[in-house]
């Protein structure tokens, strides 16, 4: 069965600092990979996705993620964090060639200090 | 872009009553919609997959008689929590699968969620 691990429950960074949120997955094949952001009381917004091809994926709001097959990882990065980036971040995986059965990680809460 | 709405955004009800939550794809047709439940400070758990014109597929442990799902049209799926109890209080989020043929196929677009509180 597939699973997603986000080892960091809570991360605090200063505004302007760089950010990396970790995501590891367990899957029989290379799955589809997603990063979503959720603000309090809101739904999920897609930041970026990886289906195939270039392993460095650019997303919205200055985020990027790198797929590393050898490490089964899909870490999210941002070179300079803004106060508005404070939110909950979820990594998710889905089976190849389908949007069904997304499995979500437990989430990482990001706090941004002024 | 693909927009999914949910109504209501929040609802408070008495124990024993039923509550209906609507999920609509506003600018695309969705043959498949998904219903998730999210407890405070936790991740999303898939409850069921809603297929237009057919019965929903429920995940293990989800009571289909308690959480009734109807996907009567290509733009609307409803979740009815029947005989609600305080333990049903949660944040319910729906998503819709992008239509085949578009560049966003294989994505799910999420609604803003519905906060249910059962007194």
Per-residue H/E/C for chain B? CCCEEEECCEEEECCCCCEEEEEEECCCCCCEEEEEEECCCCCEEEEEEEECCCCCEECCCCCCCCEEEEEEECCEEEEEECCCCHHHCEEEEEEEECCCCCCCCCCEEECCCEEEEEC
A7 or B72, which is more confident? A7
Sign of CA dihedral B44, B45, B47, B53: positive
| CB-CB contact of B24 with B75 (8 Å) | yes
In this structure, what DSSP letter does residue A40 have? T
User: What pLDDT is stored for residue A70 in this prediction?
Assistant: 92
User: What pLDDT is stored for residue B104 in this prediction?
Assistant: 66
Residue A106 predicted with pLDDT over 80 = yes
What is the SS3 assignment for A73-109?
EEEEEECCCCHHHCEEEEEEEECCCCCCCCEECCCEE
Q: Which residues of A touch B44 (CB under 8 A)?
A: 44, 90, 104
User: What pLDDT is stored for residue A29 in this prediction?
Assistant: 79
User: What pLDDT is stored for residue A110 in this prediction?
Assistant: 97
- Dihedral angle of Cα A92, A93, A98, A99, to the nearest 10 degrees: -10
Do the chains contact at A44 and B44, CB–CB below 8 Å? yes
Angle at B35 between CA B85 and CA A87, to 5 degrees: 95
Residue A99 predicted with pLDDT over 80 = no
Average pLDDT, chain B: 90
CA distance A1 to A13: 34
Average pLDDT of span A13-38: 93
Interface of B with A (CB under 8 A): 4, 6, 32, 34, 41-46, 49, 91, 93, 95, 97-98, 105-113, 115
How far does the CA of residue B28 sit from the closest CA of chain A (Å)?
Answer: 16
For chain A, count helices (H), then strands (E).
0, 12
Q: How far is CA B32 from the centre of its chain?
A: 11
Q: How confident is the model at residue B46 (pLDDT cuts 50, 70, 90)?
A: very high
User: What pLDDT is stored for residue A98 in this prediction?
Assistant: 58
| CB-CB contact of B111 with B3 (8 Å) | no
CA distance B12 to B81: 12
Q: Which residues of A touch B45 (CB under 8 A)?
A: 104
B100 or B73, which is more confident? B73
Q: Which residues of A touch B43 (CB under 8 A)?
A: 90, 104-107
Do the chains contact at A44 and B32, CB–CB below 8 Å? no
Q: Which of B85, B70, B79, B73 is nearest to B17 (CA)?
A: B85
Do the chains contact at A41 and B113, CB–CB below 8 Å? yes
| CB-CB contact of A31 with A94 (8 Å) | yes
A95 or A91, which is more confident? A91
Tell me: the pLDDT tens digits for A42-55? Answer: 889 999 999 888 99
How far does the CA of residue B37 sit from the closest CA of chain A (Å)?
Answer: 11
């Amino acid at each position: 069965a597939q699973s997603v691990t986000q080892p960091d429950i809570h991360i605090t960074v200063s505004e302007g600092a760089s950010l990396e949120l970790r995501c590891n997955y367990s899957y029989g094949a290379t799955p589809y990979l997603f990063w979503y952001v959720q603000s309090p009381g809101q739904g999920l917004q897609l930041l970026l996705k990886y289906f195939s091809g270039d392993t460095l994926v650019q997303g919205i709001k200055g985020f990027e993620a790198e797929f590393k097959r050898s490490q089964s990882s899909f870490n999210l990065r941002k070179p300079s964090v803004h106060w508005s980036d404070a939110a909950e971040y979820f990594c998710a995986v889905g089976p190849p060639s389908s949007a069904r059965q997304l499995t979500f990680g437990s989430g990482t809460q990001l706090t941004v200090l002024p | 872009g693909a927009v999914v709405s949910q109504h209501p955004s929040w609802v408070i009800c008495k124990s024993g009553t039923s509550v209906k939550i609507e999920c609509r794809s506003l600018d695309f047709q969705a043959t498949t919609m998904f219903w998730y439940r999210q407890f405070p400070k936790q991740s999303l758990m898939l409850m069921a997959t809603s297929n237009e014109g057919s019965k929903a597929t429920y995940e293990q442990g989800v009571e289909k008689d308690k959480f009734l799902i109807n996907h009567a049209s290509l733009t609307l799926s409803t979740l009815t929590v029947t005989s609600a109890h305080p333990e049903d209080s949660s944040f319910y989020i729906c998503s819709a699968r992008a239509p085949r043929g578009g560049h966003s196929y294989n994505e799910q677009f999420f609604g803003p969620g519905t906060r249910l509180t059962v007194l």
